Structure 1
Amino acid sequence: MLTRFVSSTARRLIGRCLLENNYSVTTARLQCKRTFASSAASTFHGKSQYRFTHVLPVTASSTKVIWNDSLTADINYLWLRDNCQCSECKHPHTGQKLFDITRVPLDLQPQAIEMVDEGSHVRVVWDNDQHESVYDSHWLRANGRHFFINIPSESSKRNSRPQEIEWNQHSITENPPVMSYDEIKSSEVALYKWISLIHRYGVAIVKGTPIEKDFILDMAERIAYVKETSYGKYFDVVVEPKPNSHLAFSARGLDHHTDMNYRENSPGLQMLHCLKNNHDVSNPGGRTFFVDGLHVVSWLKKHHPSAFYTLCSIEVKFELTTESFTYNQTKPIICLDKDGNFSEIHVNNRTMGPIQAPKETINPFYSAYNILMRKIRDPELQYSLGLQPGDLVAFNNRRVLHGRSAFNSDRVSRHLVGCYVDYDEMLSKLDTLYGKGFFPK
């Protein structure tokens, strides 16, 4: 038997719903001591915008909740119990889970359920052990999206991670993702805005930074720790006279590429800080350019689906050998996530090894690869920058391809410093700042 406590407004609706589902209900009042995890109480700031208006039993395994903007969700009981926010179930300081869902019966149901605090929370008492769980309206809305039945057009779907925006040369030039260092250095709100720009566009530029070699580490560490690689914590992009130097350390033009595809996990966030770049008017080379891989892959899937699926399925070997190390890794050029959406792109002609694939797939692969590269090189997609000393550009190395035009090293003196940060560390910083309430206007 289910005993539920809800507002008087909802009780009539519950009765009708219970009759349809053959439930019987005994209404009683339970007084239970609430225990909240401290993190749950501080997750949302200010007066709650969204509140519950109804909590209705639906089936033996779920309950229907309705918010004040008519958003409706059928929430599974086991999922609710598994995500109890109280200090007995979730450590109040670390946020790590203490409760083990496998220790409760699979037919778990509430003994009581009601709205409390004027609809800002739902309180549940579980029938197996009378444990009490309390769920914040915003927390349930943010974490229970997969239970939504309807999403009102006026419903705010605020998320710490802004939606990614595809771009081409025209759109990004019209609305360039540029900020000043003076903004970022003294404001966590501006820091949140900068990281949001990186995530939204895959690339963002900070102007007016100190022209100091180690400064890039300070900027990277404002987000997270620096990802150290075989090149160290950072690397200098300058012309080296050694004949066996990496081609990046030359005056050659570098075609569109992503870095370190030959590693198990290629770096996520890359930063380049310009210390010197005296352009030669008669030979203005050494420009840095970017192309949105997300936009290119979306175009490919729409206009050339066969080529798209070919590049998603055939793995390519990327490799690099120097005097100090040898790396190789095999992966598709286009990687998708578990839902079939774009996740990563891996392109670098300089480190792509011989294709190891069934012979009948070789021609389809090269045909698809040709279509992809022609689109990547389309002038309408290029975001070209003549980086000036003090400019720092940060970009998603798994989404945005970058390159460089050739230059005459006798006339152009160019010095960039680069480093990497794990992308999930950047997302962690984004979520943390969001949790503190640092939202850009």
Structure 2
Amino acid sequence: MPTHPAFVLHEQPPAVRLQNGDASREISPLWLRERTQSPDQLEPMTQQRLFDSHAIDTALTLEEVSRVDEHHATLAFSDGHRETYDLRVLAAELDDAATFPTAEPWDARLEADRVRFDWRRVLAEPGYFRASLDAYLRYGHLVLYGVPTDPERILEVGSHFGYVKETNFGRYFEVYSRPSGNDLAYRSVALGPHTDNPYRNPVPGIQLLHCLVNETRGGLSTLVDSLKVLERLRHESPEGYALLKTTPVRFRFVDAGTELVTHRTMIQTDDDGHPTGVHYSPRLDALPLLSDAETRLFHGARQRLGELFADPTYERRFALNAGELMLFDNSRVLHGRTSYDSSEGRRHLQGCYLDTDGPRERFASLVKHHDSIEEVA
């Protein structure tokens, strides 16, 4: 059974220790002092400090530790500050990500119902909206149905889930076959799995694609979870995986009026080095200048990554019909499209981008609102 950290209080000499299984460590008085819960030091509504914590004396010490009850302890510090701490609040500080669902890597076997939601209920029912956000944070994508197909409806959906990000393509963009389009997405050719705009800084965090009309048999949408694929690549080629994680490559976009260039690694990680997604677009990247041996290793890993992204084992493939909208994490979930014949009929989608933090903010707000109702009840 997993163990949970617990605070161990020592009166003499005054100390607070963190016990996690057999491991134990003393908590610095500076850490404790900065996390004051006193209303004259921490504004209750915003939880912002009313004092400059950077000015706390580096030599600060604990002068007194005494337990009040199971969940509370009084601490006194050498700067004269004394207060009773709620140990549950301190415990929450140790894992502030616990509010959010954990990402769950998936492959082609993912059940469609887990990520399909009725847009009308998302709008009308806070609990249902929260369930859709939970699914998005777990699986990195959603498919909404029942979305009206009038122009610019995508902006309403985007604003419900977060904050629309304007780019050189505008607040939203039209996706249909046109020979003069400045991107291959505006042709009827197949598009392999890729992430959008890896040449931009910052990269758009979330993409929405809303189907207004689909009269063709082709043009199937594809989605692939990079987290699942990266698990396999790391197992097959740890050295190549490490190169893709640490070596920046150039991504470049050019059209008649724009040139955007940036350098970033193909595998994206968090501060602890765990993968969170990829920057991947074979149409837009360039091999970095490495030794011949490293170049071959890098290219081999890049090549294998592309093979895995195209493997039906990992790919969800489905028709996005009129009134359906897919919303996906642009770094975690790669998207693509099969080719289609524009002579069969019209295929018209609208797309837009959101900043990454929108769904997490909405989810946290719904959790807080629910908890407030529970407290009142």
Q: Give the conservation status (yes or no) of the 8 Å contact 1:317–1:356.
A: no
1:324: Cα distance to partner?
Answer: 1.7
The alignment's TM-score, normalised by the length of structure 2, stands at 0.88
Conserved in 1, the CA contact under 8 Å of 2:206 and 2:327? yes
2:256 aligned to 323, 328, 332, which one?
Answer: 323
Look up the match of 1:103.
Answer: 56
Which runs of 4 or more aligned residues in structure 1 lie more than 3 Å from their structure 2 counterparts after TM superposition? 52-55, 58-62, 64-67, 71-76, 119-123, 353-360
Who is 1:218 aligned against? 156
Residues 223-268 of structure 1: CA distance to partner in whole angstroms, max 9, x if unpaired? 32211111111111111231x5311111111111000000122111
Q: Secondary structure at the match of 1:169?
A: coil
1:124 matches 2:124? no
Shift of residue 160 of structure 1?
Answer: 1.8
Alpha-carbon spacing, 1:307–1:412, altered in 2? closer, same or farther (3 Å) = farther
2:311 to 366, 371, 378: 378
Unaligned runs of 5+ in 2: 373-377
Residue 388 of structure 1 deviates from its aligned partner by 1.1
1:88 partner SS = coil
Note if contact 2:107-2:225 (Cα within 8 Å) is conserved in structure 1: yes
1:75/1:144 contact within 8 Å kept: no
What RMSD in Å do the two structures reach over aligned CA positions? 2.8
Distance 1:125 1:188 in 2: 43
- 2:106 and 2:124 map into 1 onto residues whose CA distance is 30
Q: Does 1:342 align with 2:248?
A: no
Matched residue, 1:432: 365
Indicate the residue corresponding to 2:165 in structure 1. Answer: 227
Q: Aligned ranges for residues 19-418 of structure 1 at < 5 Å? A: 56-57=9-10, 62-64=15-17, 75-101=27-53, 102-116=55-69, 119-135=70-86, 137=88, 139-145=89-95, 159-170=98-109, 172-173=110-111, 176-242=114-180, 245-279=182-216, 284-418=217-351
The SS at the match of 2:114 is: coil
- Alpha-carbon contact 2:207-2:328 (below 8 Å) kept: yes
CA distance in 1, matches of 2:352, 2:112: 28
1:392 Cα deviation after fit: 1.2
Give CA-to-partner distance per residue, 1:69-93, whole Å, 9 cap, x none: xx99854432111111222222233
The verdict on how the C-alpha distance between 1:63 and 1:249 changes in structure 2, with shifts beyond 3 A counting, is same
**What is the aligned-residue identity percentage?**
26
- Residue in structure 2 matched with residue 422 of structure 1 by the alignment: 355
In the alignment, the residues of structure 1 paired with residue 152 and residue 77 of structure 2 have an alpha-carbon distance, to the nearest angstrom, of 56
Q: Is the partner of 1:260 in helix, strand or coil?
A: coil
Using the alignment, how far apart are the partners of 1:276 and 1:84 within structure 2? 56
Describe the shift of the 1:364–1:58 C-alpha distance in structure 2 as closer, same or farther (beyond 3 A).
farther
Q: Is the 8 A contact 1:82 1:100 kept in 2?
A: no
Q: Which stretch shows the higher mean deviation, 328-337 or 123-132?
A: 123-132
One-letter amino acid matched to 2:298: F
**2-structure distance, mates of 1:201, 1:306:** 27
Cα distance change on mapping 1:350 and 1:125 into 2, 3 Å: same
Aligned to 2:375: none
Distance 1:61 1:301 in 2: 46
Shift of 1:64: 3.8
Give distance in 1, aligned partners of 2:247 and 2:205.
Answer: 22
- Provide Cα deviations, 1:194-226, integer angstroms capped at 9, x if missing partner: 122111101111111122221111111113221
Displacement after TM superposition at 1:329 (Å) = 0.9
8 A Cα contact 2:65 2:73, kept in partner: no
Q: What code does the residue aligned with 1:163 have?
A: T
Question: Secondary structure of the equivalent of 1:185?
Answer: helix
Count residues with an aligned counterpart.
367
Q: Secondary structure at 2:59's aligned position in 1?
A: coil
